[in-house]
Structure 1
Amino acid sequence: MKKWLSLIAVAALSVGLLAGCGSSDSKNESASKDSGKLVVYTPNSESIINTIIPLFEKETGITVELISAGTGELMKRVQSEKSNPYADVMFGGGYSLYMENADLFENYVSPNDQYLLEGHRNTSGFATPYISDGSVLLVNTNLIGDIKIESYADLLNPALKGKIASADPASSSSAFAQLTNMLKAMGGDYTSDAGWNYVGELVKNLDGKIASGSSAVHKSVADGEYVVALTYEDPSASYVKSGAPVKIVYPTEGAVFLDAVSGIVKGTKNLDNAKKFIDFILFKEAQDAFGLELTNRPLRTDAQLGSHMKPMTEIKLLDEDKDYVRANKASIVEKYIDVFTTVSK
């Protein structure tokens, strides 16, 4: 895993930032009365942290103190510190969790928000999307042979019985995202018989095989244990980038992409610095770093992508009803368990 951008890359990006690199971006250059530091709580991967944070520090001169942990744990910490916040920014985590904790965040919409893709902008007023990850199929090219896998429907092929890697939606967030994606793609919503009938037929083709977790799903395909995985784009693109014998399939019925977001903690002692951070992660050079150096999908319309990433314009996208899914997650999981139990008898 690359821990730092090369010195040349950092220098090039920094020069671009200092020169403005396009007058369309705002860097929030208002005079700051802040302390010169920024406390960032983040559940993000080491690769994201070690790429984006040094760029921000070099561009702004602000020193970042990082606290890394799981999203839920960090959100509980922000809640417990509500009367005297330690964090300035929460960097990462899903939209739904931010919506459930709206009272913890300052309202701020970056001037750079306007350059993001439609459907991936800050409409809440406080949660800023910066990258997106989608439900995909990961196929082992050494094992696929002449079996066609282009869609969810193709996964019902009897030749794939017992050869599909999947995790449990009751315990894996990526598996739950796949479940709601399938329901939307195959039934049009989350309650239709058509969608749930498809899920039942897919469960039959899993042949009772459920992976221990989301990482085991994509790893099992990359290692040649399974032909295809129901997984997500970030680790899949990482395998492609490293030259593993795999390819990413975006279901022809449509893929749902869910955003990782960032927000300013309400009551922050370094508000100007926090705004600069939100502006920075939407700045073109930072977004290019997500798409070129990392395996995350940037959200700017003009962001560059490496060859390991497919342009969003070439993917059929589906919109998830995030409010409905958040409110009905328990019942969706319960329905899945019922279907799985019935089919597996």
Structure 2
Amino acid sequence: MGAQRLLGALLFLGLSLAQGTLTLYTSEVLADVNALVEAFRREKPGVEVKVFRSGTGEVVAKVRAELQAGNPQADLLWFANEDFLKELASKGLLRRIPPTVPGYPVQYAPGGGLYHEVRLLYNVIGLNRQRIARPPALWQDLLRPEYRGLLAMPDPNFSGAALATVGTLGGRFGMEFFARLKESGLKVEQSNPVLQQKLARGEYGVAITTDFGLRQEIAKGAPLEMVYPRDGAILVPTPVAVPAWSKSPELASRFLRFLLSPEAQAIFAERGYYPVMPGAPRPKGAPERVVALQGHFADAATLERFNALFGLRR
């Protein structure tokens, strides 16, 4: 009877972990998230994955509002704002998930697994070849007179990647850099996808935007190319975390580990991202090595200065 009870318990445990509902709050591109969710559900057909997707700023605002109301809903958090995750961790609101996937580089799981990078994305310079004859090589090349009136970037109030652009380049060159870009006619679009589509149509000639999104537009036939600046593409932290309030922590942990599986890492590469797992394929046409600037998100004071400069309101 003891062995039968143990077997029954193990079967019940396996069944309970393979069923249930998982709620993901994310700023990632919905089509990319859906591809991963579908692959996960092929392995766990009894699992329902609910996704709330918006820009990082709106996702963070939603989590804050739910916490204030005492009713947080997300089982998984995945967006481009490492600083907010650090804030949650400091309050004991993140679960530590040990980085036990074989071969996973431990530097991608700070704090012993409070959150995990599952793929890498960079902010780079995107070009429409039909509008730009001479590509820039460095970030400060964007100040060339020939790019006047052709420049754009996403809104850092909405896009976490853009928040990293403001924090990183503002810290390196000073906010005067953005003031000079404003003088050159830099426009601010809401999001990277909107910006990339306008760049592909030729409404802009040069954009500060994400590398994976440019690859996706190029794969559709857009006349675009990307430049990884010689002084460093901005590596944007976009980690995944399981909050302490999760109603399905085991299922959330399984989904996190699935994102590091060969299948998921291959999906990332197919959709233009650099995988984090050693031996996983690179995106098509991507350089083997990238000179990287570690992204730093703009603080509230820096964001306020940027908003004042460009007439934006939060």
TM-score by length of 2: 0.79
Unaligned runs of 5+ in 1: 1-29, 188-193
SS in structure 2 opposite 1:315? coil
Deviation at 1:167?
Answer: 4.3
Given that 1:40 and 1:65 are in contact with CA atoms closer than 8 Å, whether structure 2 keeps it comes out as yes
Partner of residue 333, structure 1: 303
> Percent identical across equivalent pairs?
20
Partner of 1:299: 276
Superposed displacement of residue 79, structure 1: 2.5
Which secondary structure does the structure 2 equivalent of 1:314 belong to?
Answer: coil
CA separation in 2, counterparts of 1:92 and 1:197?
A: 28
After TM superposition, list the pairs within 5 Å mapping 1:142-221 onto structure 2.
142-145=130-133, 147-169=134-156, 172-184=159-171, 187=172, 194-206=173-185, 209-215=186-192, 216-221=194-199
CA contact (8 A) 1:170 1:176 kept: yes
Paired residue type of 2:108 = H
Give the residue type in structure 1 aligned to 2:202: G
Q: Which residue of 1 aligns with 2:262?
A: 284
Distance 2:33 2:310 in 1: 38
Name the CA shift for 1:306/1:255 in 2 (closer, same or farther; >3 Å). Answer: closer
Change (3 A) 1:123 1:288: farther
- Partner of 2:77, secondary structure, is strand
Distance in 1 separating the partners of 2:22 and 2:205? 43
The 1:162/1:67 distance shift into structure 2, 3 A limit, reads closer
1:137 is matched with: 125
Superposition deviation, residue 246 in structure 1: 0.3
Summarize the Cα distance change of 1:265–1:198 in structure 2 as closer, same or farther, 3 Å threshold.
closer
Residue 171 to residue 110, structure 1, CA distance change in 2 (3 Å): closer
2:135 aligns to what SS in structure 1?
coil
Partner of residue 109, structure 1: 98
Deviation at 1:141, TM superposition (A): 1.0
When residues 157 and 88 of structure 1 are mapped into structure 2, their CA distance, relative to the original with a 3 A threshold, is closer
Specify which of 72, 77, 97 is matched with residue 90 of structure 1.
77
The number of residues matched between the two structures is: 292
Counterpart position of 1:272: 250
SS in 2 for 1:305: coil
Deviation at 1:80, TM superposition (A): 5.8
Measured at CA, do residues 221 and 89 of structure 1 come closer, stay the same or move farther in structure 2, by a change above 3 Å? closer
8 Å Cα contact 2:82-2:239 kept in structure 1: yes
Q: Distance in 1 between matches of 2:165 and 2:148?
A: 18
SS at match of 2:162: helix
Q: Displacement, 1:291?
A: 0.8
- Provide Cα deviations, 1:180-236, integer angstroms capped at 9, x if missing partner: 23235xx3xxxxxx5344333333222xx5234234432322111221112222321
8 Å contact from structure 1 (residues 130, 282) kept in 2: yes
**Equivalent in the alignment of 1:26:** none
Counterpart-to-counterpart distance in 2, 1:56 and 1:253? 38
TM-fit CA distance, 1:263 = 2.1
**How many angstroms does 1:339 deviate by?**
6.1
Task: Name 1:126's counterpart in structure 2.
Answer: 114
Which residue of structure 2 lines up, in the alignment, with residue 51 of structure 1?
35
1:248-298 deviation line (CA, Å, top 9, x unaligned):
111111122123222223254443333222211111221111111x23332
Q: Deviations over 1:9-53 (max 9, x none)?
A: xxxxxxxxxxxxxxxxxxxxx954736223122324331232111
Question: Residues 79-137 of structure 1: CA distance to partner in whole angstroms, max 9, x if unpaired?
Answer: 26867x75433344532222222233221123127523x75334363212212322111
Is contact 1:139–1:227 with CA below 8 Å preserved after alignment? yes
SS in 1 for 2:184: helix
SS, match of residue 16 in structure 2: coil
Aligned CA distance change for structure 1 residues 78 and 275 (closer, same or farther; 3 Å): farther
Secondary structure, in 3 states, of the residue corresponding to 1:236? Answer: helix
CA contact 2:214–2:226 (8 Å) conserved in 1: yes
C-alpha separation in 2, matches of 1:124 and 1:75:
23
What residue in structure 1 maps to residue 23 of structure 2?
A: 40
Gaps of 5+ in 2: 1-11
Assess if the C-alpha contact under 8 Å between 1:33 and 1:272 holds in 2. no
